[in-house]
Amino acid sequence: MSGKNSRIVFDGHCDTPSRIGAGSFQLEKRNGSGHIDIPRMREGGVSAQFFACCVDPDLPPGVWEETARHCLDSTVRAIEPLEGIKLALSGSEIKKALERELISIMLSVEGGHVITSPASLEYFYGLGMRSLAVTWKNSNRLADSSEGSRRWGGISPFGGEMVSEMNRLGVLIDCSHASRESFFDILEHSSDPVILSHSCAAGICDIPRNADDSQMKALAESGGVICINFFPAFLDQKANREIMKIWKPYREKKSALARRYGNDPERAGAELLPDAMRRLEKIPMPGVSSVADHIVYAVEIAGIDHVGLGSDFDGIPVTPSGLEDISRVPALERELAGRGFSQRDRDRIMGENLLRVVELVCG
Ligand SMILES: [Zn+2]
């Protein structure tokens, strides 16, 4: 292998597809806003990236499936004509792309609420989906979310059936957002390792959205990977309190307003977001070292082969200072080097671990 981009740096989660087709965003251009585009991925040395299609559950349930289809489809169509970037359907395709110094994009869907049957799972697989987050912030017919109602006390019988189907098809199961009980149910049902594509350590920032030590240990035993989220509200308890004082009421108001507008979360967000952002931007954010703290912690609990990166870029309203977008990823690696991680260990954290699981599950 040759060239600096032949190294695997693999980010487990971003919400960039929501920007594709919206406003003036162009994946191939360097954009003045947002966190990810091709020039900035190149600058950050990022060679593979999961692009998540997240369907807002505040949309009418009748359009969830169609919205996910549209998102996957438009993302594929945006990538296809571009130079230097390629849709990957397996780990071996990522490896081939790496040799040609191409950036690989893998598609995921965030939120099992869009899955209505084994046939719909297979349909999304056919559209290129290679990972599914069993829940988003809402509990659904498959499982309970860490932020949603306790509907099943874990996963439902249908959720168990879908876990088996994902194992059969070769869809990587993502337990980020799922409740603790759902997580353990999924581990028990799944014959493949699972991932937490964008979660942090509850041992440092104790919130239900983060993974506790017992989850990390079980994840490692299954062969999976926890990809550390960059969202300051998940990194640090104090930042969490200050951000959530603004972000939680924003999300609640947005849902209520979306209902008033006939289930239109986009219109509600456009109206309420600017004020929330103005207030969020005044909060001092934790730095790159906070992300490194979570990586160090996860390595201690889960082991060096079970930790990766899950930026959540383009899905988080604020970022750590010094890690403002994907081009700044080398700053995180420098921090890890400063913490004593060898080149070999950094290679695993930066991408090899996630690639190993993708190869095992998706081929
Ligand atoms: Zn998420």
User: In three state form, how does the secondary structure of 56-115 look?
Assistant: CCCCCHHHHHHHHHHHHHHHHHHHCCCCCEEECCCHHHHHHHHHCCCEEEEEEEECHHHC
Residue 57 domain flag: yes
- State the CATH number of the domain containing residue 17: 3.20.20.140
What pTM was computed for the model? 0.96
CA of 110 from ligand 1 middle (Å) equals 7
Q: Are the beta carbons of 174 and 194 closer than 8 angstroms?
A: yes
In this prediction, residues 266-276 reach a mean pLDDT of 92
CA of 235 from ligand 1 middle (Å) equals 14
CA of 37 from ligand 1 middle (Å) equals 19
CA of 99 from ligand 1 middle (Å) equals 30
Identify the three-state secondary structure at position 127: coil
Q: 146: closest CA among 188, 224, 207? A: 207
In this prediction, residues 105-110 reach a mean pLDDT of 98
Question: Does residue 227 have a pLDDT over 60?
Answer: yes
- Res 1: pLDDT: 39
Residue 22 domain flag: yes
d(CA 52, CA 133): 9
Query: CB-side exposure of 195: number of CA atoms within 13 Å?
Result: 35
Question: Does residue 53 have a pLDDT over 60?
Answer: yes
Residue 266 domain flag: no
CA of 96 from ligand 1 middle (Å) equals 29
CA of 340 from ligand 1 middle (Å) equals 30
Residue 255 domain flag: no
Residue 151 domain flag: yes
| pLDDT over 70 percentage in the chain | 98
Residue 253 domain flag: no
Summary mean pLDDT of the chain: 95
Residue 273 domain flag: no
Q: State the residue range of the domain holding 177.
A: 4-236+286-362
pLDDT tens-digit profile of 27-46? 999 999 999 999 999 999 99
CA of 342 from ligand 1 middle (Å) equals 30
In this prediction, residues 148-165 reach a mean pLDDT of 97
pLDDT tens-digit profile of 5-19? 579 999 999 999 999
CA of 2 from ligand 1 middle (Å) equals 34
- Res 2: pLDDT: 41
Number of domains in the chain: 1
CA of 322 from ligand 1 middle (Å) equals 22
CA of 146 from ligand 1 middle (Å) equals 11
d(CA 219, CA 156): 20
Residue 254 domain flag: no
Other CB atoms within a 10 A radius of the CB of residue 83 amount to 8
Please state, in angstroms and as integers, the Cα–Cα distance from residue 128 to each residue in 15, 75, 281, following that order. Answer: 16, 10, 36
- Res 6: pLDDT: 76
